[in-house]
Chain A
Amino acid sequence: MDQGSAAGTGGTFISLSDTEQRCFSGLYALCQPDSSGKLAAGKVAELFRASQLPAETLHQVTEVCGAKRLGYFGCGQFYVALKLMAAAQTGLPVRLESVAGELPLPVFIGITNEHEMRYPNHPSTNEIQAHILGSLPGSAPHPPADRAVLRHPDTSMDKQEAWSPPRSPGISPPRSPSAYRSYPYAAQRNGTDTLLVYDGKVAGRPSIPQENSSPSHYSLKVQSEQPVITRVASVERLVERAEMDYSDDPWRITEEQREYYTNQFRSLQPDLNALIMGTVAKNFFTKSKLPIPELSHIWELSDVDKDGALTFPEFCTAFHLIVARKNGYLIPETLPATLRPGFMETGVVTAPPSEATEPLIVFDDHTMPGANQLEMGSVDLQMTSRPGVTAKQDTRDESRKPEEFSPKRIPDPHEKPIQRVSTLKPDSPQELDANMKSRTRPRSYSSTSIDDAMKKVEEPPTPPPRPQKTHSRASSLDLNKLFQQSAQGAKSGWLPRPPALPPRPPATQIFSFLPGSEKSSQKAVQQPNFADFSKFSEEQESSVRGGLSTEDLAPPKSDSTLRHQGHTPQKPVRRKLHPESQSATPPLATPCSAATLTKSTQRPPPKQKREIQMAIRKNRETNAVLTRLNSELQQQLKVVHRERVTLESQLELLRPVTST
């Protein structure tokens, strides 16, 4: 009989966990067993191919499980084969010893198992199995058998049919985690394995509508997420878990996934705005055990700027594609719109901060103490609290009201763009770096470099509005200001407005401005809206001026007026001002800012002050970024000039040669 042959195959009993039983029985049923329990060879072959193992492995599996000897796949051989395939997919050698331990479920791409769908809800097959289990000779101790039998006495269905929920010889499915621990392979994996295997089973069926299972599985996911995150080696199982939340579209990255990807990114590269090098990414993604051609294709899709390295959005895209692939979704030929790096950012840009408060309020209603932090307009706080809040929210939700979570998931897609606003805003100053590069490169002097062409490719995905703001600034004001290291001066309270306003300072008011050098010119820019403010600053400055050395003030002041008259950037003039203004501005900045702030609280409405402070911070960041960018560009310019000179000289040398 099958059991005898199977038992004789290895001489060892193959133990299956409960979930494995269910999974395997589903697969067995899928392969259309005939009356004697043999499986249809065609279906088995299809299933084996779907496991994505190389052909030799499959041959090995067939041989080891005994089907080759028998000439067909009986129930026993099939189960052994499934276990062997699971072992092979985790990288273990195809031998019976490998299957003695704990393994995740084998992953079959594209095989849908409706039978398995029922299993979480109707453990009837389990009892059937248990019933037959009792009748099997030579089985190991069956603790679960008793348990299963106690469950439903529903098992007496025809024995032939009972074969279709198939039996595995020598099954002793130990349920308890303690039993798991006794296996040598399980030494590392322990309790999380129960969750993992369960998750794996769910993940192996991409056709299941996720809404039903997501609340219940979510708890498993969250609990298991923490310990597993630390184990980068088990990327494949993490992949299965990360699949959980395809609430609408498999090509959309949910928040938990994004959070998870962020953590993984950080593990490879602590700076979220830096690139992951190709080799590093290759090693990392190879751990997912996908075949190399597929990984290559995924890389092609996700590396949009084709630079051989992954930015954070590209990394998310790549990881998401890998997750999808592991869960059975075929990789499309082109990148889905939702996964493009530009998509994320356009979602960010179109969601103004006011919108951000609404979903956050939703969280507040559900008594998220952490969410209170989210209401702050501070970008940084949003960034840091967001992951903490989502984690807290998740655990609390699933513990209390799972169904409540599903309505909350509806604001999730809305939240996603907003969260990305928050997550991306800190990125934005640095991202501005990249964006600036893409924008300023065409205007830069080194237009012939290959880098330039590459950066031009970057341009389409970048979000239009945000960089354009700085774009306009850079073209007229900032680059020149940066020459003079305006960053420190920007800290003064004189930057009331983001740089969207037309740079047209009314001449009269400018003169009365303090010699804050560039700062005052920026203030001049925002003159129209802050007329009152400027008056206060004037007054303050006049009062303050008494306390400061007049020599410092006088020359910069006169020069600033000169400068403001000719508002177009005058580099030499400003450079001259630089040493003077720099000394002048810091001492001026602090007392004036204090003074102006006190004044500002009284007269202008308080929300303006907040806006001002926000704008100040933003501008500060922008300035720092632009300074860096500028210095980099200067260096590149020098390099390119040198190259050009050498090339020209070479050309000159060779010209007479080539003409002959």
Chain B
Amino acid sequence: MAVCIAVIAKENYPLYIRSVPTQGELKFHYTVHTSLDVVEEKISGVGKALADQRELYLGLLYPTEDYKVYGYVTNSKVKFVIVVDSSNTSLRDNEIRSMFRKLHNSFTDVMCNPFYNPGDPIQSKAFDSIVSTMMVQAF
């Protein structure tokens, strides 16, 4: 269960960002922003290989004492970032992968909608609902 999920466009501006304790949003926004550097580093690392050989799932970007940040990048350089609570140790890698896969599918559905202009903030309710299922349930 994530505490923050973000979708960042190719030009590194956010298309969608949502965090669960909505008051502490700024911290998560900052975290996501700094994680972009790590993402860039990872995707530029496999320079000589063809783009589609690169793994979409980037794995753990960096851990802090409070939380862990995972990254995923699509072939069109759209980045998904998930921040999970460090105390939530039960989350396995596969689960994170499946979360990213769901996000990616939901994102492509949003893209298929002709009323969505790429580059616009994502306002799709379906996407929101998918994200909600993945977020930590607020109590």
Chain B min CB distance to A209 (Å): 31
Residues B115 and A282 in contact, CB atoms below 8 Å apart: yes
A278–B49 CB distance below 8 A? no
A307 partner residues in chain B, CB cutoff 8 A:
112
Given contacts A278-B114, A296-B115, A299-B115, contact A306 B123 (CB under 8 A): no
The residue from A278, A295, A300, A658 contacting B125, defined by CB atoms under 8 A apart: A300
The answer to the question of B53 belonging to the interface, with a C-beta cut-off of 8 Å to chain A, is yes
User: Known contacts A293-B123, A297-B124: does B53 contact A654 (CB below 8 Å)?
Assistant: yes
By beta carbon, the residue of chain A nearest B112 is A308
Q: A508: CB under 8 A from chain B? A: no
> With an 8 A cutoff between CB atoms, is B109 at the interface?
yes
Contact with B along A156-186 (1 / 0, CB 8 A): 0000000000000000000000000000000
**Chain B's nearest CB lies how many Å from the CB of A333?**
7
A292 CB–B CB distance under 8 Å: yes
Measured between beta carbons, the chain B residues less than 8 angstroms from A654 are 49-50, 53
B62: Cβ under 8 A from any A Cβ: no
Most central of A278, A296, A307 by chain B CB within 10 Å = A296
Which A residues are in CB contact (< 8 Å) with B91?
A: none
Within 8 A of A (CB), among B37-88: 48-50, 53
Q: Mark B97-139, 1 if CB is under 8 A from A, else 0.
A: 0000000000011001111100000011110010000000000
Contact between A300 and B109 (Cβ–Cβ < 8 Å)? yes
Answer whether residue A541 sits at the interface, using C-beta atoms and an 8 A cutoff: no
How far does the Cβ of A566 sit from chain B's closest Cβ, in whole Å? 45
Please name the residue on chain B nearest to A450 by beta carbon: B108
Residues of A within 8 A of B109 (CB): 300, 306
Q: How far is the CA of A184 from the CA of B87 in the complex (A)?
A: 71
Interface check A135, CB cutoff 8 A: no
B19 shortest CB reach to chain A, Å: 22
Q: Known A300-B109, A300-B124, A333-B125; judge A308-B49 contact (CB<8 A).
A: no
Give the total of B residues in contact with A, Cβ under 8 Å.
16
User: Of B48, B113, B129, which one neighbours A296 at CB under 8 angstroms?
Assistant: B113
> Which residues of the partner chain A approach B50 to less than 8 Å between Cβ atoms?
650, 654
Structural contact, B49 and A296, CB atoms closer than 8 A: no
Q: Which residues of B contact A308 (CB under 8 A)?
A: 112-114
Contact of B115 with A295 in the complex, beta carbons under 8 Å = yes
Q: Please give the distance in Å from A337's CB to the nearest CB on chain B.
A: 18
Instruction: Judge whether A279 is part of the interface by a CB distance below 8 angstroms.
Output: yes
CB atoms of A296 and B112 under 8 A apart: no
A4→B50 CA distance, assembly (Å): 76
Inter-subunit contact B126/A282 (CB<8 Å): no
With both chains docked as a complex, state the minimum distance between the C-beta of B125 and any C-beta of chain A, in angstroms: 6
B126 proximity list for chain A (CB < 8 A): 300
For residue A8, give the distance in angstroms from its CB to the closest CB of chain B.
43
Cα of A654 to Cα of B53 in the assembled complex, Å: 9
Interfacial chain B residues near A657, Cβ < 8 Å: 48-49
Chain B residues whose CB sits within 8 angstroms of the CB of A102 once the complex forms:
none
CA distance A281 to B109 in the complex (A): 16
- What per-residue 1/0 map shows which CB atoms of A283-324 lie under 8 Å from chain B? 000000000110111011001001110000000000000000
Q: Is the beta-carbon distance between B123 and A300 smaller than 8 angstroms?
A: no
Q: Are B115 and A292 in contact (CB under 8 A)?
A: yes
B113 and A303: CB pair below 8 A? Answer: yes
Q: How far is A456 from B97 in the complex, measured between Cα atoms in Å? A: 22
Contacts of B115 in A (CB 8 A): 282, 292, 295-296, 299
Q: Which chain A residues lie closer than 8 Å to B125 at the CB level?
A: 297, 300, 333
| Residues in chain B near residue A333, CB distance under 8 A | 125, 129
Q: Measured between alpha carbons, how far is A300 from B49 in the docked complex, in Å? A: 37
Shortest Cβ gap from A456 to chain B (Å): 13
| Residues of the B chain whose Cβ atoms lie less than 8 Å from the Cβ of A658 | 49, 53
CA distance A299 to B114 in the complex (A): 8
Q: What chain B residues lie within 8 Å of A296 (beta carbons)?
A: 113, 115-116, 123-124
A260-287 contacts to B, CB under 8 A, are 278-279, 281-282
A281 touches B49 (CB 8 A): no
B114 contact set on A, CB distance < 8 A: 278-279, 281-282, 299, 308
Q: A654-B53, A657-B49 are in contact. Are A303 and B124 (CB under 8 A)?
A: no
| Min CB gap A592→B, angstroms | 52
The A586-618 residues at the B interface (CB cut-off 8 A) are none
Task: Check if A303 sits within 8 Å of B123, measured CB to CB.
Answer: no
Determine the distance from Cα of A296 to Cα of B112 in the docked complex, in whole angstroms: 10
Interface centre among B49, B113, B116 (most CB of A within 10 A): B113
Question: Smallest Cβ distance from B133 to chain A, in angstroms?
Answer: 14
Residues from chain B with a CB closer than 8 A to the CB of A297 are 124-125
Taking A282-B115, A296-B113, A299-B115 as known contacts, 12 extra A-B pairs with beta carbons closer than 8 A to each other, sorted by chain A number, are A281-B114, A293-B123, A296-B116, A296-B124, A297-B124, A297-B125, A299-B114, A300-B113, A306-B112, A333-B129, A650-B53, A657-B48
A residues adjacent to B (C-beta < 8 A):
278-279, 281-282, 292-293, 295-297, 299-300, 303, 306-308, 333, 650, 654, 657-658
Closest 3 CB pairs of A and B: A278-B114, A308-B112, A282-B114
Q: What are 27 A-B contacts defined by CB distance under 8 Å?
A: A278-B114, A282-B115, A293-B123, A295-B115, A296-B113, A296-B115, A296-B123, A296-B124, A297-B124, A297-B125, A299-B115, A300-B109, A300-B124, A300-B125, A300-B126, A303-B112, A303-B113, A306-B109, A306-B112, A307-B112, A308-B113, A308-B114, A333-B125, A333-B129, A650-B53, A657-B49, A658-B53
